[in-house]
Each structure stands twice: as structure tokens, then as C-alpha cells.
Chain A
Amino acid sequence: MGSTMTTHPSHDELGHVMPKRVLISVWAALVILTVITVAVTEVDLGRFNIWLALIIAIVKGSLVGLYFMHLRYDSPLYALILMIALAFVVMFIVGTITDTAAFQESLETPRGWRISS
């Protein structure tokens, strides 16, 4: 057929049609993960709370991207574009945090508050 796409719909289809049960399963997973995210804030994990919340957010975001936004069934080019944008955001954050981390000693201790070292 000469198709280079990972999934090639039939000739009458312009694009892949999402099955109902996939849509509903993804939605249910997103709802459950949201409930978990909120519930987990009641548990104290110290510094790791934010990372856990971010990891769950990344899982939710991946579900939205892969299924609701069709990335799993479309040409990989779209996913590549998104990944590149995200890579630049990550570089932006890492670079800026690294820079600001070098200046921590010169930050003033907030009035009246103690920060554990």
C-alpha cells in the first residue's frame, strides 16, 4: 500500500475513530487519578508530596494526550512536536532553577520564620 503511517485507516476514513469504550475508560481513569491526587495531600510525605502530585499529573496529561488528543493513533510527527516543546520547557526550568540555586546563601531568612536546613 505504500503507507508509512503506523496506523492506516481504511480509504474512506480520514482519521482514526475513537472507540466509545476507550473514551470512557480514559475518562474514568482521569477521574480516579484526580481523586487520588486530592486524597494524597492528606498524607504527609514531606518533600515528596509535590513530586507525587506532579507524577500523577504527568500520567493524567499523558492519558489526555495519547487518547483524547489522538497521539497514539496519529502520525508520530505530532507527538514529536509536543515532546520538543516540553523538552524546551524542561530545559528552561532546569536552567533557571540551577541558576537560582547558586544564590541560595544570599537569600534573607524570612522574618520570624525558621527554615529547616
Chain B
Amino acid sequence: MSDRVETDPVAASHDKPYAAVGDAHAHEPHLAHHFATPRQQYESAKLGMWIFLATEVLMFGGLFVAYAVYRANHPEIFIYAHRYLDKTLGGINTLILICSSLTMAWAVRAAQLNQHRTLIACLVLTLVGALGFLGIKYVEYKHKWEEGLRPGMYYDPVHRDVAAVDRFETRETAAVTGTGPPVPITAPPEDPEATRIKPAPAGPPGLALSALTPGAASIAPEHRDEPDNVRVFFSVYFLMTGLHGIHVIVGMGLITWILLRAMKREFSNRYFAPVDLVGLYWHLVDLIWIFLFPLLYLIH
């Protein structure tokens, strides 16, 4: 086929069919006997990992569907309850995961280039990022638990007035649109169908835009009204972030495993698939959070 002279038996064997490889790769310690070449082994492993990631996408997809349906049917719950979430902490968590994805991708690069110390440093930094993420999640969860903002039937808010819970939201002023309190109905009319008169001074009928009105912030806290079933928002919140958090913990375990192996100098430019595959898993964890963050924390 090719008339070039190939002196490297390992390289030459890459273009040959399985039967002709012979002992060219016999020196490769990590090559399993049922694979012809290290590249075939590597690509097979990667294929398996991608199929697993596809199942993860489908699993979280189911939760996203639940979110989408419930939010479409009851937007008032999401608009009301999302303000219990601190978007600064959520934003910091997003940045932490993005940085940890960088260090993870860098670790893969370091493994491919035989840069052992860089590899170890990057894996350690990724772990630090993961710990930071979990730390912030712990702070958020603890605050919610103490305030009684618990999922489903355990929902029992300590303060019915969101302003009292706004310990986290001191940076957001009432003048900022969209993050202020929802416009309450001071006194719901006896028969909502009969009257077309808007209640004063709350005024505007819409929900998403209502917080824009200049008078909205001056509504007294005791007039705020909580929609039914806010508990469902917290079910969705804890389920989605909780499952994601479990994935972070599992990821930390995997990264620790790879770190220990890296410290034993097990990886090289001829064998780095485990680092690559754990990296793929970690990037997926980051990817899922990239979508969770705006959907849960940045509701307008």
C-alpha cells in the first residue's frame, strides 16, 4: 500500500490490520490483550464513557422536564420562591466549577505530556474547587433548613415574610427590578371573577413585570401573599441540586483515585485514558450546573 520506509515498528503497526500487529505492542504494559493497538483501546474506553454520559444527560433531562412543566403551569411559585436563593453564592459556585473544569482539562493535557507534577497539582486544584463548591452548597442548604424552606411536606417556613429571610440578599436593593418582592394583593376580592377593578396601590395585573412598578417596593411586608404549594419549588430545588451534589461527591472520589494513581506515576503519554475519562465526567458535572444555575437562581 504505502512505499514509505517505516523504521518504528510501533508506528508502522498502526496502519496494519489486527493480525499483522504481532509483537509490536508487546512492550506496552497497559494494552489489554483483546485490543490491537493502544489507540483502539483508548478510543473504545472513550466511547464507553460517552455512552455513559449520554445516560447521565437523560437522567438529568428527566428532572429538567419536571422543572419545565411545573414552571410552565405555576410560574407564580417560581417567581415567589426563587428569591430565597442567593444568586451571588450560586454565581460563585458556577465560577468555581468553571475553574475546576479548566484545571481538570489541564490535568489531562499534563498527563499526555508526561508532566507529572503539573498533573498532580491540577488534580489537587480540581479537588479544592469541588470542596469549595460543596462548602457553599452546605451553607446554602443549612440556611434553608433553618428557615424551614424544606422540600415537599417538610416545607414549614419560619418567616412568611421574605424580607426577614433576606439575610443573603442585602446586596439587592428594592429598586432593582425583578429581584424585589412580588407585588402582593393587599386584599383579594371576594369574587375574583366579578370585579375588574385593580386593587390599589398594588395595581398592575401581570406577575413578571409587576415588580417593576415604582410603588412595588413600598408595599408593607405583612401584605405579602404566598402562593400555594411553594413547597414544590423546594422539592425541585433540593432534588436537582442534591442529585448534582451527589455527582460532585462521586466526582471527588474519582479524582482522588486518579490522583493517587498519578502520584504513583502510572500515567504517561502512552497511557492517560483514566485521567481523560474522569475529566469527561467532571466536565459533564460542570455542564449540568451551567444549566441548573440560571434556571433555579436567575429567575426573573
Binding site for B on A (CB under 8 A): 1-2, 11-15, 17-18, 20, 23-24, 26-27, 30-31, 34, 37-38, 41-42, 44-47, 49-50, 53-54, 56-57, 60-61, 64-65, 67-70, 74-75, 77-78, 81-82, 84-86, 88-89, 92-93, 96-97, 100-101, 104, 107, 109-116
A-B interface contact total, Cβ < 8 Å:
199
Q: Point out the residues of chain B lying under 8 angstroms from A101, CB to CB.
A: 72
The one of A20, A27, A93 that contacts B99, using a Cβ cutoff of 8 Å: A27
CA distance A75 to B177 in the complex (A): 47
CA distance A2 to B14 in the complex (A): 10
Q: How far is the CB of B146 from chain A (nearest CB, A)?
A: 26
Residue ID in chain A nearest B87 by CB atoms: A38
The one of B69, B76, B205 that contacts A97, using a Cβ cutoff of 8 Å: B69
Binding site for A on B (CB under 8 A): 1-2, 8, 10-11, 14-15, 38-39, 42-43, 46-47, 50-51, 53-55, 57-58, 61-62, 64-65, 68-69, 72-77, 87, 91, 94-95, 98-99, 101-102, 104-106, 108-109, 112-113, 176-179, 184-185, 188, 192, 205-209, 212, 225, 227-228, 269-270, 272-273, 276, 279-280, 283-284, 286-287, 290-291, 293-295, 298-300
Q: How far is the CB of A102 from chain B (nearest CB, A)?
A: 12
* 7 nearest A-B residue pairs (beta carbon): A89-B61, A11-B11, A116-B206, A85-B54, A53-B294, A49-B300, A112-B188
Given contacts A97-B69, A100-B72, A113-B185, whether A15 and B57 have CB atoms under 8 Å apart is no
Q: How far is the CB of A43 from chain B (nearest CB, A)?
A: 8
Contact B177 A15 (CB under 8 A): no
Q: Point out the residues of chain A lying under 8 angstroms from B94, CB to CB.
A: 34
Q: How far is the CB of A9 from chain B (nearest CB, A)?
A: 9
CA distance A104 to B225 in the complex (A): 23
The one of A34, A42, A89, A96 that contacts B69, using a Cβ cutoff of 8 Å: A96
The one of B64, B106, B294 that contacts A56, using a Cβ cutoff of 8 Å: B294
Contact A82 B50 (CB under 8 A): yes
Contact A85 B47 (CB under 8 A): no
Q: Please classify the interface of chain A as helix (H, G, I), strand (E, B), loop, or mixed, using the class held by over half of its residues.
A: helix
Residue ID in chain A nearest B229 by CB atoms: A110
Q: Point out the residues of chain B lying under 8 angstroms from A27, CB to CB.
A: 98-99, 101-102
Q: How far is the CB of A67 from chain B (nearest CB, A)?
A: 8
Contact B46 A78 (CB under 8 A): yes
Given contacts A11-B10, A23-B102, A116-B206, whether A89 and B291 have CB atoms under 8 Å apart is no
Contact B54 A115 (CB under 8 A): no
Residue ID in chain A nearest B58 by CB atoms: A85
The one of B99, B185, B205, B287 that contacts A65, using a Cβ cutoff of 8 Å: B287
Residue ID in chain A nearest B4 by CB atoms: A1
Contact B298 A41 (CB under 8 A): yes
The one of B61, B99, B109 that contacts A17, using a Cβ cutoff of 8 Å: B109
